Amino acid sequence: MQVDRYERLWMWAATAMLAVFIGAIVVTAVAGSNHPPSHTEVVNPDTLGVRGEFATPGVTVHPDGSRTVAIRAEFYVFRPERVHVPAGVPVTFRVTSPDVLHGFQIVGTNVNLTVAPGYVSQATVTFETPGEYLIVCNEYCGLGHHLMQGSVIVGAPR
């Protein structure tokens, strides 16, 4: 069987591209498994309510005006349920759970976290528009999952 020179060239080119793609997948899979994500912050889920920033969750104001909000996601409730922050300043949400896997989504923003027991999930957002933003659990966590919600009240800029 006679194969045209250009067809042979394209077959070799396609095979080489396929080999490069498979090689890239293998290299990233091996590199990713050897080096897990760094800066993973862990907490003891048994002592969340006793000591540390999650014992009394709430808003912390920093000298530069930014805010850090510690939130504890537990069976069917976010603690605190309502958070008050001003518009126009960076707000860092630090969320953890003492019991099961939860979700943490602030509707209308790009904040969407998976909250695993014993780990701290973190996201930073700046609310430009004052108003009330709904917080929902978007990871099924049990029979009362549909009741698990909170809110971020964004006030006028300071």
Over residues 39-78, the pLDDT tens digits come to: 578 888 888 888 888 999 999 999 999 999 999 999 999 9
Same domain, 142 and 115: yes
Cα–Cα dist 6/117, whole Å: 59
pLDDT at 30: 79
14 and 49: one domain?
A: no
Task: Work out how many domains the chain is built from and give that number.
Answer: 2
Identify whether the C-beta of residue 55 lies closer than 8 Å to the C-beta of residue 45.
Answer: no
Say if residue 97 is in the same domain as residue 145.
yes
Q: Contact 82/115 with Cβ under 8 angstroms?
A: no
pLDDT at 37: 53
Token pair recorded at residue 90: 């960076």
Give me the domain span that covers residue 29: 1-36
Say if residue 33's pLDDT is above 80. no
Q: In which element (H, E) is residue 28 found?
A: helix 5-34
How many helical (H) and strand (E) elements, i.e. helices and strands, does the chain have? Answer: 1, 10
* Total-model pTM: 0.75
